[in-house]
Structure 1
Amino acid sequence: MKAVFLTLLFGLVCAAQETPAEIDPSKVVGQWRTIYAAADNKEKIVEGGPLRCYNRQIECINNCKQLSLSFYIKSDGTCQFFSEVLQRQEGGVYFIEFEGKIYLQIIHVTDNILVFYYENDDGEKITKVTEGSAKGTSFTPEEFQKYQQLNNERGIPNENIENIIETDDCPP
């Protein structure tokens, strides 16, 4: 019953969000660095948190029906490399089991920035997270303003934004 409720809740949340345009694979593919992350449960994304990701590479597989993500997570100060393949579901949502269940959407992409929104269900709580990545090592003021707007639209407080790039000392 809990699974049915969570599925319904997730469907309603997705329906209430701005529907992203079809993904342009040429803009998604490449090397990306996580610049910012924000969450409604900030403990998940603080330094050493289980969802503090240091993105490196994104590839579209089969016209983006699958996404291959390469990233690091730090545990006790040690960078641990992950390469995961996410499966596309209805409505452009990707699913993966990582630190629970993650339902991920690409909600904004340009030539220089990419923003993920995902919900992490760890079995006890659902945490809403955004990750802003760039092809470089920073956002312009306009890009940061857009990132803040995307957080506001999803009910994630901007005071919960973490500057991820400042602690990124994992290998390229």
Structure 2
Amino acid sequence: MKVVLLTLLFGAVCGAQETPAEIDPSKIPGEWRTIYAAADNKDKIVEGGPLRGYYRHIECIDDCEYLSITFYDKDDGTCLLLKEVAKRKEGYVYVVEYAGANTLELIHVSDTMLVTYVENYDGEKTTKMTEGLARGTSFTQEELQKYQELNSERGIPNENMENVIETDNCPP
């Protein structure tokens, strides 16, 4: 009887474990806009913060061994167009130098939504953040809910979310 109970318990625990979603690499490339950002250190993502970026385009290079990311950063209100190339570490985890050392992971990709999880080390502290990107200029209610769930899974408070698209006045 104990064996049966242990087997059932083990099955329930294993069944409750969420397996990472499979990323379809064909959905990564293209035009993207930053809709939301959230971080455990909100100062990094507020307007004018060092990690507040305005995505425009992501391209896969060599079967996504590298990601070319085109985005704007603002310096005193002036939009600066930047392009960074992230190198694959494993799976869909990449490393890139920008405002410190970054590990960037693609944690959700659909036809209309892409979410990144970033750990940024600025030489003193590690900041955990997510960025929610869309093909358009907004999220549906379902996409917003998915984004908030992904934040919660990574220990990032949803009250630290910033609506980035509201301050995106950089060229398309």
- Structure 1: runs of 5+ lacking an equivalent: 1-16
Give SS of 1:89's match.
Answer: strand
Partner of 1:106: 106
- TM-score, normalised on structure 1? 0.87
Query: Does residue 59 of structure 1 match 2:59?
Result: yes
In structure 2, how many angstroms separate the alpha carbons of the residues matched to 1:74 and 1:37?
A: 15
In structure 1, how many angstroms separate the alpha carbons of the residues matched to 2:21 and 2:88?
A: 14
Give SS of 2:155's match.
Answer: coil
Partner of 1:80: 80
- Structure 2: runs of 5+ lacking an equivalent: 1-17
Mapped contact 1:118–1:128 kept (Cα < 8 A)? yes
In structure 1, how many angstroms separate the alpha carbons of the residues matched to 2:92 and 2:142?
A: 26
Partner of 2:31: 31
How many residue pairs were aligned? 156
In structure 2, how many angstroms separate the alpha carbons of the residues matched to 1:18 and 1:123?
A: 33
Mapped contact 1:32–1:135 kept (Cα < 8 A)? yes
Aligned residue type for 1:78: T
Aligned residue type for 1:81: L
Mapped contact 1:20–1:106 kept (Cα < 8 A)? no
In structure 1, how many angstroms separate the alpha carbons of the residues matched to 2:141 and 2:110?
A: 15
In structure 2, how many angstroms separate the alpha carbons of the residues matched to 1:157 and 1:93?
A: 22
How much identity, in percent, do the aligned residues show?
A: 65
Partner of 1:117: 117
Q: Show structure 1 runs of 4+ deviating over 4 A.
A: none
Give SS of 2:171's match.
Answer: coil
Report deviation, 1:18. Answer: 5.9
In structure 2, how many angstroms separate the alpha carbons of the residues matched to 1:121 and 1:145?
A: 28
Q: 1:158 to 1:55 in 2, by over 3 A?
A: same
Give SS of 2:47's match.
Answer: coil
- TM-score, normalised on structure 2? 0.87
- Which protein has the larger Cα radius of gyration, Structure 1 or Structure 2? 2
Q: 1:69 to 1:145 in 2, by over 3 A?
A: same
In structure 2, how many angstroms separate the alpha carbons of the residues matched to 1:18 and 1:97?
A: 29
Which piece of structure 1 moves more, 84-93 or 97-106? 84-93
Q: 1:28 to 1:91 in 2, by over 3 A?
A: closer
In structure 2, how many angstroms separate the alpha carbons of the residues matched to 1:76 and 1:32?
A: 24
Aligned residue type for 1:52: R
Give SS of 2:132's match.
Answer: strand
In structure 1, how many angstroms separate the alpha carbons of the residues matched to 2:65 and 2:21?
A: 15
Report deviation, 1:20. Answer: 4.4
Partner of 2:166: 166
Report deviation, 1:90. Answer: 2.2
